[in-house]
Amino acid sequence: MNIPFTKLDDQYNDCRSEIDKAINKILNTTEFVNGPIIKVFEQKWAKHCSAEGSAAVSNGTQALVLALRACGVRHGHQVITTPHTYVSTVEAIKSIGADPVFVDIDDYYHIDSDKIEEKISPKTKAILFVDLYGQTPDISRLKLISEKYNLKLIEDAAHSTGAEYNNKRVGGLVDLTCFSFNPIKNLGAIGDAGAVTGQQNLIDKVKILRDHGRIDHDNYVEIGYNARMDCIQASVLLEKIKFYLDWNNKKRIIASTYNNELKCVTPKIKKNCLHSFYAYVIQVPNRNLFRQHMMEKGIQTKIHYPTSINTHRPYFPFQQCVKSEWVCEQIVSLPCYYSMTQSEQSYVIQHINNWVRKYS
């Protein structure tokens, strides 16, 4: 049996006619950039996330850059963050001349809230946390810390579109939340796209920065970027919004079967969180040999992420994060696409459990 890691054509197949129609409309109107559909998307996404405001941007990495800038983070400031993430989180901090201060992770693969306060200095301006794999950390606790030290709280929600914390959807819970809609995400565009949601005054700044720092056509008030979402992406996302929560539900059922049946270390799920399962991540003995074994059985796996970002030279001086560095050697992400059939999943489970029995 051949089990791919993901099936990118799933999302298109589920709403092909709606997407084709939406794209055609943009082609016919020729409103490719800054068209009225951008505002429609922004209003829809803000409402969907119960956020005060929303800005449509070019991708998730740029969403992070714009959010940090809008929060006043500048050269010489420090931003507290996690080393166990995709490079974009930390790259965004460095790219605006600020310095990442790494806090090691907890058992949920999140920034360890117990270790944040000891890393706060007079240069600290913000905490940038990540909803890794699709589950949020304890946001109430992070809010208490950020309020105590007067820091901005920014959420990297690239993995957690549609996820919830205490029955509230991600997007309106902290100062600013950054989304990625790249095609492999739970809600994927047909190219790069992203959004920032949150407090209206900060969103207004993001909108200025994403469009060359101007407040009208020839009036520049900031050094900005060309970081706008293009209209075709907005039109596709507006159609897919109607479907993706159902796709997330299906992923959650697959994840729950894995959790019940696998004999290895499975993800810890928090009772007050609705997980989006962007990635379903386990820990197995002899990880690299395991992946080879799975590949021989026709099962594709991935690693999110193979190295801890603090170990990479552009992010030196080196700040050790023992747990994050250790975890990167143990973890494997399993196929968890929403159209996965029961027989496909049973096949994956059988081969994992055989491996665990042999090596534990």
Give yes or no for residue 315 binding ligand PLP (CB under 6 A). no
Contact range with ligand PLP by CB under 6 A, out of 53-61, 205-213, 268-276, 281-289: 53-61
Q: Which residues contact 223 (CB under 8 A, 6 or more apart)?
A: 213
- Per-residue binding string, ligand PLP, 64-83, x by CB under 6 A, is --------------------
Give yes or no for residue 171 binding ligand PLP (CB under 6 A). no
Question: Residue 350: which of 273, 275, 264 has the closest Cα?
Answer: 264
Contact range with ligand PLP by CB under 6 A, out of 95-103, 141-149, 152-160, 168-176: 152-160
Q: How far is CA 290 from the centre of its chain?
A: 26
Rg (CA), the chain: 20
Which helix (H) or strand (E) segment holds residue 235: the answer is: helix 231-261
Residue from 11, 54, 59, 197 binding ligand PLP (CB under 6 A): 59
Contact range with ligand PLP by CB under 6 A, out of 118-126, 154-162, 201-209, 338-346: 154-162
Give yes or no for residue 194 binding ligand PLP (CB under 6 A). yes
Give yes or no for residue 136 binding ligand PLP (CB under 6 A). no
Question: What are the structure tokens assigned to 266, written together?
Answer: 């499975």
Give yes or no for residue 100 binding ligand PLP (CB under 6 A). no
Give yes or no for residue 345 binding ligand PLP (CB under 6 A). no
Which helix (H) or strand (E) segment holds residue 128: the answer is: strand 124-130
Question: What are the structure tokens assigned to 141, written together?
Answer: 């606790």
Q: Which residues contact 230 (CB under 8 A, 6 or more apart)?
A: 32, 33, 58, 191, 193
With tokens 């420090």, the residue in question is 78
Site size toward ligand PLP, by CB under 6 A: 15
Q: What are residue 184's phi and psi, to 5 degrees?
A: -90, 0
Instruction: Return residues touching ligand PLP (CB under 6 A).
Output: 59-61, 85-86, 88-89, 130, 156, 158-159, 180, 182, 192, 194
